[in-house]
Chains A and B, each alone.
Chain A
Amino acid sequence: AQRVTQPEKLLSVFKGAPVELKCNYSYSGSPELFWYVQYSRQRLQLLLRHISRESIKGFTADLNKGETSFHLKKPFAQEEDSAMYYCALSGGSNYKLTFGKGTLLTVNP
């Protein structure tokens, strides 16, 4: 069974502070991990995926298979980063995504 856990429902930081959104997963095979983001009044969109190993809007995420984690990090948070963040896992051939419950990030001025 696939499961994604985001332990923090809410996360509040000040502008310029580092931010880390936690994601842990459970999957017996080799997963593909994603972070999706939903800004206010916008649709859900892909932020980054682990296989591309890229940095988007200053965010990075490293897949740690030993700890089964895929935490999202940014060294200096900006107010425009305030949004709902969902960690998601894909396993198997039909690319079904299993989402976590999401973390609402608020970056205060």
Chain B
Amino acid sequence: ETGVTQSPTHLIKTRGQQVTLRCSSQSGHNTVSWYQQALGQGPQFIFQYYREEENGRGNFPPRFSGLQFPNYSSELNVNALELDDSALYLCASSPGGQAKLFFGSGTQLSVL
């Protein structure tokens, strides 16, 4: 059984650029959630995708967007990067209709 994998592991961008983060869900999981974890904070919910549709969104601006593909992998896109976007971005997958999440190792994004 393959766990949740995220790429890249680290990324450095400059303010105003755009970034795409990728996530492959665990086998058999059709739901993917994205979380932002700033230094010293707990993960904060960005949004969730279920069967390729957005299924709930946290308090993040529209420049945070996502996609889920037919194989249930997912992308997180952030436009017009700001310094405060520097954080660890976590992807988590789950079987549909369950709150038990399986997390990836995260992508550490630094915005300079």
Give the B-binding residues of A (Cβ under 8 A): 4, 32, 34, 43-46, 49, 86, 88, 90, 92, 94-102
**Within the complex, what minimum Cβ distance (angstroms) separates A29 from chain B?**
14
Q: Are A96 and B42 in contact (CB under 8 A)?
A: no
Contact of A95 among B35, B98, B102, B103 (CB under 8 A): B98
Among residues of B, the one whose C-beta sits closest to the C-beta of A41 is B105
For B43, what are the chain A residues with a Cβ–Cβ distance below 8 Å? 44, 86, 97, 99
Given contacts A90-B99, A96-B56, whether A43 and B105 have CB atoms under 8 Å apart is yes
**Cα distance, A43 to B43, chains bound together (Å):** 12
Give the A-binding residues of B (Cβ under 8 A): 4, 31, 33, 35, 40-45, 48, 50, 55-56, 58, 90, 94, 97-106
Among residues of B, the one whose C-beta sits closest to the C-beta of A90 is B99
For A96, what are the chain B residues with a Cβ–Cβ distance below 8 Å? 33, 45, 48, 56, 58
Contact of A101 among B40, B101, B103 (CB under 8 A): B40
Among residues of B, the one whose C-beta sits closest to the C-beta of A100 is B42
**Within the complex, what minimum Cβ distance (angstroms) separates B23 from chain A?**
13
**Within the complex, what minimum Cβ distance (angstroms) separates A77 from chain B?**
22
Q: Are B101 and A49 in contact (CB under 8 A)?
A: no
For A97, what are the chain B residues with a Cβ–Cβ distance below 8 Å? 33, 35, 43, 45, 99, 101
Q: Which 5 residue pairs are nearest across A and B when measured between Cβ atoms? A: A99-B42, A94-B56, A95-B99, A44-B103, A90-B99
**Within the complex, what minimum Cβ distance (angstroms) separates A23 from chain B?**
11
For A95, what are the chain B residues with a Cβ–Cβ distance below 8 Å? 31, 33, 48, 94, 97-99
Given contacts A43-B4, A88-B42, A99-B35, 20 further A-B contacts (CB under 8 A): A34-B99, A43-B104, A46-B100, A46-B101, A49-B99, A49-B100, A86-B42, A90-B99, A92-B56, A94-B56, A95-B98, A96-B48, A96-B56, A97-B33, A97-B45, A97-B101, A99-B42, A99-B43, A99-B44, A101-B40
**Cα distance, A32 to B101, chains bound together (Å):** 13
Contact of A43 among B94, B100, B103 (CB under 8 A): B103
